Amino acid sequence: MILIAGSSNLDFVVRAHHIPAPGETVLGQDFQTFPGGKGANQAVACARAGGAVTHFLTGLGADAFAAPLEASLTGAQVQLHAVRPVGQPTGTAFICVSDAGENAITVAPGANRSLRPQHLPPLKGFSHLLMQLEIPLDTVQAYAQAAHATGVTVVLNAAPARALPQSLLDVVDVLIVNEGELAALTGPVGDTAARMAMLSSATVVVTLGARGCIARHHGQFYEQAAFAVDVVDSTGAGDTFCGALLAAWSAGADMAAALRRASAAAALACTRMGAQSSVPDVGEVNQFLHQHPQP
C-alpha cells in the first residue's frame, strides 16, 4: 500500500489568451472549478492511472469546497484520512491557463496548514510514503523521519520550489523535482546531471517539461523523451507523473519502464482540462503506450 500525505485544494480555473504580466488585466474566457492540490492530485493519479492501493492524508475544511474533493478522491478509490481543523477553510488555488496550455497558480493553503506530525497514521502495511511541500515543512520532516525509521520508502516531490534542510534530504530515498526545484536545492551552477550528483538521495528524478525526464537511480542514469500531444492544460501533469511513477515502482516495474509509464500518463493529462479530472485510468495509459511504442 502507498500512503500520500499532502494538500487538497479546490481549483478556480480561468482560461485566457495569455497569462497576465504584473499589473496587467487580461479578459478571460471560460471559468470552471476542479478538484486539485498536489497531494490530492498525486493520490488520484497513483490510484487511477497506476492502479495502486492508495491512502491519502490531508486537511479539509468543514465547508462546501471540501465536497468535490472528497467525491473525486473516493471516486478514484483513494482511502481518505481527513483532518478537519475548526475554523479553517478548505485550501483553494487560483489558476490562469493560457491558450498554449501554460499556467500560473496562486494557492491559499487553508486547512492544509493544519496537518501536523501527530496526524500521521500507523505506517504498518505501507511500502512507500509520498509527500510534497504544500503542507508545513516541519510536518513533512516529521513524517519522513517516522517513515525512514520504520523502513518505509520516503518519496518527496519537492514542490513548490524551496531550499530544504539537509536533515530532511538525508531521509529521502526518492526525490522528484523539475528544473526550477532542482536549482532551488542545489543552486544554478552546473548542468542538470552535475546538480543531480550533488543530492544524496538514492534516486533523483528530474522532469524537463516537453523534453521529457532524466533519472539517477543507484548510480545509473536513465532518460525518457516526452510523448508529443496537443496540450490543452498542463495543470496537474507533474502530479500525474509522480503518482503514476510511484504506482509503477510499487508494482515492481524497473526504472526505465516506470519512467515511460509515468510520462505517458502525464502526456494524457495534458490533453484535458483540470488537475484530477485530467488523470487517465490504467486502461487509457495501457492503450496509449500500445499506440505509441516510442519514445
- Mean pLDDT lowest among 4-18, 183-197, 251-265: 183-197
Among 111, 114, 166, smallest CA distance to 141 is for 166
Q: How many domains does the chain have?
A: 1
Q: Which three cell numbers stand for residue 226?
A: 516526452
For residue 6, what pLDDT is reported? 97
Give whole-number Cα distances, 43 to 6, 132, 158, 161, 164, in Å: 9, 11, 16, 20, 23
- Amino acid identity for residue 95 in this structure: I
* Of 24-38, 51-65, 84-98, 182-196, minimum mean pLDDT range: 182-196
Quick one: pLDDT band at residue 200, thresholds 50, 70, 90?
Answer: confident
Is pLDDT larger for residue 222 or for residue 97?
A: 222
Nearest to 41 by CA among 241, 208, 231: 241
Query: Where are any strands of DSSP class E within 158-253?
Result: 174-178, 203-207, 213-217, 220-224
- The percent of residues above 90 in pLDDT, for the chain, comes to 78
The pLDDT value recorded for residue 295 is 66
pTM greater than 0.75 (yes/no): yes
* Per-residue pLDDT at 51: 96
Q: How many CB atoms lie within 10 A of CB 1?
A: 14
The helices-and-strands tally (H runs, E runs) of the chain is: 9, 13
pLDDT value at residue 236? 87
Looking up residue 119, the CATH number of its domain turns out to be 3.40.1190.20
The answer to whether the beta carbons of residues 59 and 114 sit under 8 Å apart is: yes
Cis previous bond, 20, omega within 30? no
Predicted local distance difference test score (pLDDT) of residue 234: 84
Quick: pLDDT tens for 92-129. 999 898 988 888 889 899 999 999 999 999 999 999 99
> Active-site residues: which are they?
239
Q: Which region among 18-32, 184-198, 211-225 has the lowest average model confidence (pLDDT)?
A: 184-198
pLDDT at 227 over 80: yes
Q: In what order do the strands lie in the sheet with 128-131?
A: 79-83, 54-59, 2-5, 128-131, 153-157, 174-178, 203-207, 213-217, 220-224
| 188: pLDDT strictly greater than 90 | no
Tell me which residue has cell 543530492. 199
Query: How many CB atoms neighbour CB 151 within 10 A?
Result: 9
* Neighbouring C-beta atoms of residue 118, cutoff 10 Å: 8
Q: State the DSSP H helix or E strand holding residue 82, giving kind and residue range, or none if neither.
A: strand 79-83
Quick one: average pLDDT of 279-287? 94
Residue 97 β-bridge partners:
15, 103
pLDDT tens string 230-282:
888 888 899 999 999 999 999 999 999 999 999 999 999 999 988 898 999 99
Burial class (CB in 10 A: 0-12, 13-18, 19+), 232: middle
CB 2 within 8 A of CB 250: yes
d(CA 70, CA 67): 5
Q: pLDDT at residue 285 above 90?
A: yes
Cβ count near 31 (within 10 Å):
9
Name the H helices within 22-95. 38-44, 66-75
**CB 154, CB 140: distance < 8 Å:** no
Q: Print the domain residue range for 221.
A: 2-291
Peptide bond into 160 cis (omega under 30): yes
Q: Cell numbers 496537443 correspond to what residue?
A: 230
What integer best gives the mean pLDDT of the chain? Answer: 93
218 backbone dihedrals φ, ψ, rounded to 5°: 50, 45
